[in-house]
Structure 1
Amino acid sequence: MNNFMDKLATKIMPVANKLGNNRYLSVLRDAFMLSFPLTMFGSIIVVLNNLPFFSTQTKETLAELFGNGQNATMSIMTIFVTFGIGYYLSKSYEVEGIFGGAVSLTAFLMVTPFFITLEDETIVNGVLSLDRLGAKGMFIGMIAAFLAAELFSRITKKGWQINMPEGVPPAVSKSFAALIPAILTLTIFLVINAVMTGIFNQNLHDLVYEMIQKPLMGLGSGLPATLVALFFVQFLWFFGLHGQVIINSVMDPIWNTLMLENLDAYKAGEALPHIVTKPFMEIFTVGLGGSGMTLSVVLLMAFFMRSKQLKDVGRLALAPGIFNVNEPAIFGLPIVMNATIFIPWLLAPLVVTSINYFVMAIGLVPAPTGVAIPWTVPIVINGILATNSILGGLLQIVDCLIVGLIWFPFLKILDKQQFNSLA
């Protein structure tokens, strides 16, 4: 078994390392992290405005008074992501990042319709719809930002810029250097938008949403695709690669968009359209002790095993595990390249996630509302906050019991091996 794992590692690790170090996936990850403090602030406001014991009238009053806390953060998340993509991608090419971010954001707005259609088909010009700056505009925002930053950076690297003489203040010099690349890049987007609206009577937002974003969201919100993503998270971690970072770089745009759609529905008092969202993946997988849902594993090692090594690792990993940091368990047990626990490491998250999806699908437990909860918030608390229901916390307790049942026989095998080796 160990020889097989070693051979598999030699095949998997180069591919995973390339994926993890991919320029565009790294930029996308960093861009979403740029928006993290802002979306977290918006989530806190939503939680406080919608506490379960508040009356409907109180919630409406709070939404009127403090609703902009969410409108100016989570509802326009695409703005922050597009700026972040432009900034980080330009920096990766050693081009001035702040101008790359500004150009990418402008390129996104260049292809964004500045009108809304009311229920009576009246068109109001000169306004931006919040959904186009949030969930609905996420994919066209990412596409526009990557293309704009790539064009801006390549034109700049070719030296097509105005160089000011020495003695000119740096801010002025950098602005003139960015002038020609910015004009050329934005002209391309302006022409694209003119062709789409003038010739095809269509806008890129709706086109990308219907042809790309909607199908991907439909795929990403289903249980099969979720289990595949989770399997690869666990599989990569087993070989010592940060599966969460690698897979989330690909899936986060889908999960975050699903999260925003749930939040919009929750605020409107409508049924939540999705079960699988970013909070679902954060709170009901990582939020159970870290990747692999290892809080139960740590508790079993600390209090139910006989070997000194497992007890020591369990007690050392317990405090971090409460806050969903499980590197001490992953590398201390170790989980990495440990053939004895390969099966429960892969199996437990898949079983528990399937159960969670099922109980939420039948309405036994509410789905996450779309509020972003920091992944370091301890179990039960994060489950209650994510679903706005005590049932979310109770489900996590059941999850931990299931994980413990799956892991226990394999831990006993490992415990016996280590105890006998020291006897």
Structure 2
Amino acid sequence: MNEFIDKLGEKLMPIAGKLGENRHLKVLRDAFMLSFPITMFGSIVVVLNNLPFFSDATKGTLGTLFGNGQNATMSIMTIFVTFGIGYYLSKSYDVEAIYGGAVSLSAYLILTPFNAVTEGGEAITGVLTLDRLGAKGMFIGMIAAFIAAEIYTRIVKKGIVIKMPEGVPPAVAKSFAALLPAIITLTVFLLVNAAVVGFFATNLHDVVYNVIQVPLTGLGSGLPATLVAVFFVQFLWFFGLHGQIIVNSVMDPIWNTLMLENLDAYKAGEALPHIVTKPFMEIYTVGMGGSGSTLIVVLLMGFIMKSKQLKEVGRLALGPAIFNVNEPLIFGMPLVLNASIFIPWVLAPMVVTAFNYFMMATNIFPTPTGVSVPWTVPVIINGIMATSSFMGGLLQIIDMALIGVIWFPFLKLIDRTNLGHVDMGEPENV
């Protein structure tokens, strides 16, 4: 077992390390985190407007009064992400970041159609629709933001800027320095948009949505791809690398897009189109005690196992685990490079993910509605909030029971080994 893990680690660790240090993946992660507090506010509004015990009439009234809390946050999430990509990518190149963010956002909007069609078929110009600024525009927004920021920063780096004389206020000097790079960058996007609209009578939003976004989200919403993602999160953590950061950098654009599509359907009173979304991955993996859903593991260690070593680690890790922080367990047990618990560490979250997928696919338990719940919200509460149903919390209780069954024999073996040290007269904590 140890030899297999060592060989596997030798092959995959360099790849994981490169992914973790990749400039563009780090920028993408930071851009989504920029939108986190804003979208969290929108999620809270949605949860409060749609509490399970409210009648449909009450929900409708609250939606009318407070619906803009969601419209101005989660529904236009792509705006925050595109600005964040431009900002953080420019910053990574040591270029004035605020202008990089503004240029990326403008480039995205240049590619966005300013028109809509009413239900009666009437065309309206001069408007931006929420779907273009939310789920449907996510991928074109990310692509445009990265390209715009790369063009902008390269122009700045080449010194194609207007330099103001000394004594000019810094804000004015920086604005003039950004002028030429911004004009050149945005001209490129304006010409591209004109070519697509003029020659093909369409827009890049629809092209990217149909050619790239739909196939990718279809793949990311399936169970096989989800299980692969869960496996790599656990596997990377086993070697001491932050699996969530590395894997989520790749998968978050897909999961967040699926989340927004679910939220749009939920608000419209329609059937939720996706099971796998960002809240599904958060609430039913991280949301049950941290990476690997280890709250039940901590409880078993602290209150069922008999050896002093497991009891002490379990009880010390319990407080943070309630709020889904399990680094004390990962590095205190330790879980890192501990071959004796490799199987339950990797297997348990994969089994639970598959179990939850089928429970939701068969409508036995509800699917997360698309609201984003803070990852530090304790188990059961976060399940209820994510699904707007008490059944969401009940499913987590069943999940923890499954995880406990998988982990128990391995913990028991470690427990007996620790107790065996005591019988042989050796220190218990060895």
Question: TM-score normalised to the size of structure 2?
Answer: 0.97
Q: Which residue of 1 aligns with 2:412?
A: 412
Aligned equivalents of 2:253, 2:287: Cα separation in 1: 20
The structural deviation recorded for 1:5 is 2.7
1:333-344 matches, within 5 Å, as 333-344=333-344
Moved more, 114-123 or 293-302: 114-123
Aligned equivalents of 2:212, 2:10: Cα separation in 1: 35
Q: Which residue of 2 aligns with 1:252?
A: 252
Corresponding residue SS for 2:124: strand
Q: Which residue of 2 aligns with 1:305?
A: 305
Aligned equivalents of 1:361, 1:7: Cα separation in 2: 37
Give the residue type in structure 2 aligned to 1:141: G
Identity of aligned residues (%): 74
Give unmatched runs, 5+ long, in structure 2. 424-430
1:326-365 matches, within 5 Å, as 326-365=326-365
Give the residue type in structure 2 aligned to 1:58: T
Aligned equivalents of 1:171, 1:364: Cα separation in 2: 58
| RMSD over equivalenced CA pairs, Å | 0.9
Aligned equivalents of 1:58, 1:349: Cα separation in 2: 38
Corresponding residue SS for 1:199: helix
The structural deviation recorded for 1:217 is 0.5
1:41 and 2:41 aligned: yes
The structural deviation recorded for 1:238 is 0.6
The structural deviation recorded for 1:420 is 1.1
Aligned equivalents of 1:4, 1:364: Cα separation in 2: 39
Give the residue type in structure 2 aligned to 1:329: L
Aligned equivalents of 1:389, 1:120: Cα separation in 2: 36
Q: Which residue of 2 aligns with 1:24?
A: 24
Corresponding residue SS for 2:10: helix
Q: Which residue of 2 aligns with 1:376?
A: 376
Give the residue type in structure 1 aligned to 2:378: P
Aligned equivalents of 1:169, 1:363: Cα separation in 2: 62
Give the residue type in structure 2 aligned to 1:139: F
Give the residue type in structure 1 aligned to 2:282: E
Q: 1:273-296: per-residue Cα shift (whole Å, max 9, x none)?
A: 011000000001111111111111
Q: Which residue of 2 aligns with 1:10?
A: 10
Q: Which residue of 2 aligns with 1:106?
A: 106
Q: Which residue of 1 aligns with 2:209?
A: 209
Q: Which residue of 1 aligns with 2:92?
A: 92
The structural deviation recorded for 1:307 is 1.4
Moved more, 108-117 or 9-18: 9-18
Aligned equivalents of 1:252, 1:30: Cα separation in 2: 11
Corresponding residue SS for 1:136: helix
Question: TM-score normalised to the size of structure 1?
Answer: 0.99
Give the residue type in structure 1 aligned to 2:310: L
Q: 1:256-310: per-residue Cα shift (whole Å, max 9, x none)?
A: 0100010001111111001100000000111111111111111111011121111
| Shift >4 Å, 4+ stretches | none
Give the residue type in structure 1 aligned to 2:390: I
Aligned equivalents of 2:148, 2:422: Cα separation in 1: 62
The structural deviation recorded for 1:12 is 2.5
Aligned equivalents of 1:338, 1:55: Cα separation in 2: 51
The structural deviation recorded for 1:117 is 1.5
Give the residue type in structure 2 aligned to 1:112: T
1:261 and 2:288 aligned: no
Aligned equivalents of 2:11, 2:212: Cα separation in 1: 32
1:40-79 matches, within 5 Å, as 40-79=40-79
Give the residue type in structure 2 aligned to 1:51: L
Give the residue type in structure 2 aligned to 1:339: A
The structural deviation recorded for 1:25 is 0.3
The structural deviation recorded for 1:61 is 1.1
The structural deviation recorded for 1:4 is 3.7
Aligned equivalents of 1:48, 1:378: Cα separation in 2: 18
Aligned equivalents of 2:344, 2:112: Cα separation in 1: 48
Aligned equivalents of 2:284, 2:4: Cα separation in 1: 32
Q: 1:303-336: per-residue Cα shift (whole Å, max 9, x none)?
A: 1112111111100111111111011111111111
Aligned equivalents of 1:419, 1:12: Cα separation in 2: 36
Q: Count how many residue pairs are aligned between Structure 1 and Structure 2.
A: 423
Aligned equivalents of 2:297, 2:276: Cα separation in 1: 25
Q: 1:367-408: per-residue Cα shift (whole Å, max 9, x none)?
A: 000010001100000000100111000000000000000000
Give the residue type in structure 2 aligned to 1:306: K
Aligned equivalents of 1:174, 1:28: Cα separation in 2: 25
1:160-179 matches, within 5 Å, as 160-179=160-179
Aligned equivalents of 1:137, 1:5: Cα separation in 2: 41
Give the residue type in structure 1 aligned to 2:155: I
Give the residue type in structure 1 aligned to 2:93: Y
The structural deviation recorded for 1:3 is 3.8
Aligned equivalents of 1:286, 1:187: Cα separation in 2: 44
Q: Which residue of 1 aligns with 2:293?
A: 293
Q: Which residue of 2 aligns with 1:184?
A: 184
Q: Which residue of 1 aligns with 2:196?
A: 196
The structural deviation recorded for 1:210 is 0.2
Q: Which residue of 2 aligns with 1:131?
A: 131
Q: Which residue of 2 aligns with 1:390?
A: 390
Q: Which residue of 1 aligns with 2:428?
A: none
The structural deviation recorded for 1:13 is 2.2
The structural deviation recorded for 1:60 is 1.1
